[in-house]
Structure 1
Amino acid sequence: MTESSVQSDLWPAPSATGAVDAVVTVPGSKSVTNRALVLAALSSEPGWLRRPLRSRDTLLMAEALRTLGVGIDEGVGPDGTGEAWRVLPAGLHGPATVDVGNAGTVMRFLPPVAALAHGPVRFDGDPRSYERPLGGVITALRDLGVRIDDDDRGALPMTVHGTGAVDGGRVEVDASSSSQFVSALLLSAPRFNQGVEVRHVGSTLPSMPHIRMTVDMLRSVGAQVSTPQSGGEPNVWRVTPGALLGRDLVIEPDLSNAQPFLAAALVTGGRVTIPDWPERTTQPGDALREIFTGMGGSCELTDAGLTFTGSGRIHGIDVDLGEVGELTPGIAAVAALADSPSTLRGVAHLRLHETDRLAALTKELNGLGGDVTETADGLHIRPRPLHGGVFHTYDDHRLATAAAILGLAVPGVEVENVATTAKTLPDFPGLWTAMLDPSAAGAPTG
């Protein structure tokens, strides 16, 4: 790549000229959309997904299911309004090749689905996907009798040899590197002959809200699930075999993708409203209400949505983010602008995400004049006066949005490859520009 093309990939992060005051409609949740697609594909009857997220990760999931024989028609809902996807279950079959991109949900949720298909299914993806943990899913499926060829890498690329059925039963998995290992087995379990009993046998299990999301969505389509929270054994989930029902599901807005917009209210001392914020949800992003309030803002949940208001001051925070690790980059960006130090704990597993998020945040924040050190399980951030410069994203959407947050208060921040935000949040630059200047909505964003 030439120097001129590198420079053309730099997005000048806009600085705020005053307190923001905006209503930002956030697209649907990636986590909910991709779980809903898998469950609808495994159901015994057609179903609808209303207001699904259209992003790289969800389109990869939809296309992967299509390659296995599932019908997914994109259009409007049955009432003729709003975008909706009609999912038409069918007999799963290979041979097929699944492109996972760098989507953890695709690379982990679909191998158990592929085991239910007739024929071989090859999984491949971006170079970074080869480095992401997948061994827990591979080992668990092998223990359940599934043949998988991965040249003993425990990672992509690999081929799952589906036989049309999986016996299921009891299986142990170390999901300490990703809660998606548990969710992957649970989502397909109703189609296993004996269902499944998943026992987590590793150290602390991260991102528990995502497992609760999986359980809630399974129950919403008729699955019988017992969990540690419902009186079961610690770290054990059981799903009984049975048919899944087709549903008409409205996808919640992605609360984690609301983070940069709420952060803008905090950083600028302004106000941002996110419509359709649910009163009850399993999304990790709901924790932002408490976390950002602790950093100096206030929030109110009404029929209009969640309104978050900044006070004009940002306070440091000492917080365990083990259950909501995906929020760490945005919180780190806000913490770098605070009036006191912050310690972010419980997120050692972020070293295995789209990139090593802890190393990347440390390097990029310090590159702008920050004072960040890695700890065994997180970051310690001592606020310093920051300056402009290039903020590299490592093809990680949450690094890009963290850089945009910094740019609000630090002139001259240039975000490398802001287009990576399309992984979960289409047209982030347009949404960001419209929040800062509503009159610019629909205008070119550079």
Structure 2
Amino acid sequence: MYRTPKDFMEYVKANNPGQPEFHQAVDEVITSVWPVIENNPKYQSANILERIVEPERSIIFKVTWANDKGEVNVNRGYRIQMNSAIGPYKGGLRFHPSVNLGVLKFLAFEQVFKNSLTTLPLGGAKGGSDFDPKGKSEGEIMRFCHNFMLELSRHIGPNTDVPAGDIGVGAREVGYMFGIYKKLQNQFTGVLTGKGLNWGGSLIRPEATGYGVTYFAQEMLKTRNEDFNGKTVTISGSGNVAQYAVQKVTELGGKVVTLSDSDGTIYDSEGIDCAKLTYVMDLKNKRRGRIKEYTNEYKNAEYLEGKRPWGIECQVALPCATQNELSGEDAKTLISNGCYCVSEGANMPTEPEGVQVFLKNEVLYGQGKAANAGGVATSGLEMTQNSMRLSWTRQEVDTRLHEIMRSIHQTCVRYGKEGQYVNYVKGANIGGFVKVADAMIEQGVV
């Protein structure tokens, strides 16, 4: 048994050099669960700590593909199969230049506990490539996806590992990968989620993460006898998660005033209503434009170049862009501007200093592994529909998603209650950990 979390983190850093995102993710979980480890000798004797931070399998492979000029390109592909104690591996594929082993290990580690919280029997994994779909033709993207799946297909299956989309991997990419997998295996199986509705996809899947992060915020607000009605909300990002968070917040009576991308933030004090959201969806999903173009269409809006939304006054903030986008200073600014509810739509978007600021000031802070679990939860529902060879209605899926997010909130309250305040970080980490650790012990040393 390591004497302190710091001692254990020294071991993790020595074994995983040059992987700061992974170190950050492990440190957060270990800090929360340390008292549970100390008070339960069974976790110590089974050496759960060392076992749970080590991937069951790390797959790295070469992906070669030809561009439209016939030039051969080489990218690196990955699949980190982190933990399968409670079910087949489940987690997204990310195509982005920032993808590397450390980033994917962080995402896979987070996915283990996120999937545990959903109540569904799903293990945790993550994968992807440093391939960048931006600026590529349809043919180039298809050829890359086909060659990526030529190798990945050896390691996945409906009862082994079921990938989904993530940054850079949407319905188009999932379609290309599913098509070649089906041809290679000569089977039509639910090996990928996020599929098209005509061939095994689920209603609400594109909306799920954005809806889920909003439902989780709604549950947190209820603990103070409040709701979204009349609230001003800032959202970062402008992709799938952010778009559907805007839609659900608006439906629940809130007013979203910001969206962003890597270049800057738009601020619309009148609110981003349904018509404006339709414009954003066309801009980002079809034309692949930059969020700055919003101000060309809506002259009242401001564009804050190079800035994130956290300086805008609000009561609720939903970080939906990427990891480490909200610093300690940003957290202080949000609080001074009236924010008291933060629900994370991205994976680990708040830096450790920001997390501490939120907890110290007793902000309703729903961290990503709990708050943004709606996406993987609905992927699990898609797997269920595939297994049963049926399709649920939009209302059925949305109702099940809402219930899962309520259940996750209840788990966080159960394990994170500290007097009148709920520490959602502690609640999510302990709630997710205990289920996985117990399953590992029950299955022996394997």
Give the structure with the higher percent helix: 2
Give the structure with the higher percent strand: 1
TM-score, scaled to structure 1? 0.32
